Amino acid sequence: MSGVRGSIWRQVPLLLWLVVLWSLLWDQVSVLSVVTGILLALLVTRVFYLPPVELSGRVNPPGLVVFIGRFVFDLVRASFQVAWLAIDPRRVPTSSIVAVQLSTKSDLSLTLTALAVSLVPGSLVVEADRQDDILYLHVLGTDSLADVEKARADVLAVEERIVRAIGSRDDVRRVNLARAERSLGPIVAGRRQRAWEDRHPVVPEAQMELAEERASEGGYPE
């Protein structure tokens, strides 16, 4: 009984996110949209088969506030920018398909990043390559290579804010390593994160792939 109860509690963040997404799709928050969102969230997660979603169990309230605040700001700003592109007589809006290599390996992080980016006007995820963790976006207003690079950097910034808010320790480490390659500081560098990384050293990708291959063949990694 306690296991079932714990499973339900672990699904609460996912249920809440589905309700929020449903309300955003309807462009209104009302009793009807919230109630139907709750019912649909329960239906999707309990009736239809879905792959298990690994929740990190880590929530950083300040990071969550920053993510929500910046998401609302980007939503409003992008709405005005897209509206101006539509009526500006001096230019014809251009668009590009931009590939963004994400830093994390988490299904939850990839999904939330794709949803957050798609909800902001001017950008839409057209494909998600789960195997290589790449998002392909259709982006408006890309008149130059600098605009393309800015669009790519904006997506990575969204991923970083999500990881800072609710990402796992492994997600944080991967983002920190990716930022270090760009000569940027870590998003989280506290004592708990360092202690977790000391207990979970990085396994080289080649070694991990070999272990998975041996396990699939019925063998055991050395």
How do residues 122-168 score in pLDDT, each as one tens digit? 999 999 998 899 999 999 988 889 999 999 999 999 999 999 999 88
Residue 178 pLDDT greater than 80, yes or no: yes
Place of tokens 């870590």: 186
Confidence of residue 6 (pLDDT cuts 50, 70, 90): very low
Specify which of 32-46, 84-98, 116-130, 190-204 reaches the highest per-range mean pLDDT. 116-130
Q: What is the 3-state secondary structure (H, E, C) of 12-34?
A: HHHHHHHHHHHHHHHCCCCHHHH
What band does 2 get if pLDDT is binned at 50, 70 and 90?
very low
Tokens of 135: 């998002």
Q: Is the pLDDT of residue 187 over 80?
A: yes
pLDDT at 4 over 50: no
Q: Are strands 95-101 and 123-129 parallel, antiparallel or unpaired?
A: unpaired
Please compute the mean of the pLDDT values over residues 53-70 and round it to a whole number: 82
Task: Answer whether residue 217 shows pLDDT above 80.
Answer: no
Residue of 193, 192, 166 lying closest to 177 (CA atoms): 193
Coil/strand/helix, residue 146 = helix
Q: What is the DSSP letter of 120?
A: S
In angstroms, the CA 221 to CA 34 distance is 49
Spatial separation of the C-alpha atoms in residues 104 and 63, rounded to whole Å: 17
Q: Does pLDDT of 61 surpass 50?
A: yes
- Of all residues in the chain, what percent carry a pLDDT higher than 90? 39
Q: Does residue 152 contact residue 98 with C-beta atoms inside 8 Å?
A: yes
Domain ranges of the chain: 1-53, 56-205
Cα separation of 152 and 2, whole Å? Answer: 44
- Residue 207: the pLDDT is 46
> What mean pLDDT, rounded, does the chain reach?
82
Looking at per-residue confidence, does 152 or 48 come out higher? 152
- Is 212 a residue whose pLDDT tops 80? no
Q: Helix, strand, or coil here: 140?
A: strand
Q: Are 116 and 20 in contact (CB under 8 A)?
A: no
pTM value > 0.85: no
Sheet of 123-129: strands edge to edge? 95-101, 134-140, 123-129
